[in-house]
Amino acid sequence: MNILLLGYGKMGKAIEQLALERNHSIVAKIDLHNAENLTALDTTAVDVAIEFSQPDAASQNIRYCLKNGIPVISGTTGWLKDKPAIEDYCTERNGTFLYASNFSIGVNIFFRLNEYLAGMMKKFEEYEPSVIETHHTEKKDAPSGTAITLAEGILREHLKKHEWELERKGENYAGTGKLPIQAIREGQVPGTHTVTYASDIDTIEIRHTAHARKGFAQGAVMVAEWIKNKKGILTMQDFLKL
């Protein structure tokens, strides 16, 4: 399979390594420093694009792929205000597009567990839900896309909470209808996400801890292999058949 990499940071490099190990070819590696090379690319030689760039480049990258008939998967976060327009464009072009805040198989199982737990906890109003995410200091966006996905899963199921908010230090969120997300940046942490339901009596907690970027990269390559000959706007649930 011939892969176009859009974004060549740490994730792009990890994806490249795994793709080559799985006997795929990298047609081009496009990032901030050589973006002009995209216009000269032979798009007929590309089977699928994997997009892990920057928030200000993601929409343009995805539109380029859809315009040229290239199936594209994206894991870039921080650009989602443009996602409805991108999905409309995908439908208009009869294209193929999949966005995920996290391509780790374990994280996507964790997403489903989170929704299931939220559905159970909505009956017990004495428990206050919250989300904590911890990442390396180089991560630019906060909260993480994964934390937002967890929060949205809780909001779909929970009766007390109606919107999420990046936690403001010292604020009491009990009874406010707001779900706090605490974002911590330290060291070289690949990503830890914790969902907590706390009451005066006890606390219930579920957590996912990533040990390396390999899980994210492996999931992205597996999705790229799967999506190559498909059409439409797809999700990780379609891929995993959860």
Supply the residues annotated as catalytic: 135, 139
Distance CA 102, CA 105 (A): 9
3 state DSSP class of 32: coil
Query: Measured between alpha carbons, how far is residue 201 from residues 171, 177, 197, 198 in Å?
Result: 21, 21, 11, 8
Give the bridge partners for 131, in sequence order: 181, 195
Distance CA 183, CA 181 (A): 6
Give the bridge partners for 48, in sequence order: 3
Tell me if 165 sits within 8 A of 158, measured CB to CB.
no
Residue-by-residue DSSP string for 56-99: HHHHHHHHHHHHTT--EEE---S-GGGHHHHHHHHHHTT-EEEE
Distance CA 100, CA 179 (A): 21
Sign of CA pseudo-dihedral 137, 143, 145, 149:
positive
